[in-house]
Structures are given as structure tokens and as C-alpha cells.
Amino acid sequence: LAEYNSLANPHLIFPGQEILIPAN
């Protein structure tokens, strides 16, 4: 799920985790 979210939106914040994925 994490990799799908990073592909869909590199700056997506996980709900409940507040972890921002860096755009690689």
C-alpha cells in the first residue's frame, strides 16, 4: 500500500501516521 501511495502521490501523508513520503 505504501508503494502504491508513493507512486500515486509522492508527498502523500499517511493518515494516522503523519509520515511524509519524500519524492524520490
The 3-state secondary structure of the chain reads: CHHHHHHHCCCCECCCCCCECCCC
User: pLDDT per residue over 1-24, tens digit each?
Assistant: 556 555 666 556 556 555 566 655
Q: What are phi and psi of 8, to 5 degrees?
A: -75, -45
C-alpha cell at 14: 499517511
Are residues 9 and 23 in contact, defined by beta-carbon separation less than 8 angstroms?
A: no
pTM as predicted? 0.15
Q: What is the pLDDT of residue 24?
A: 58
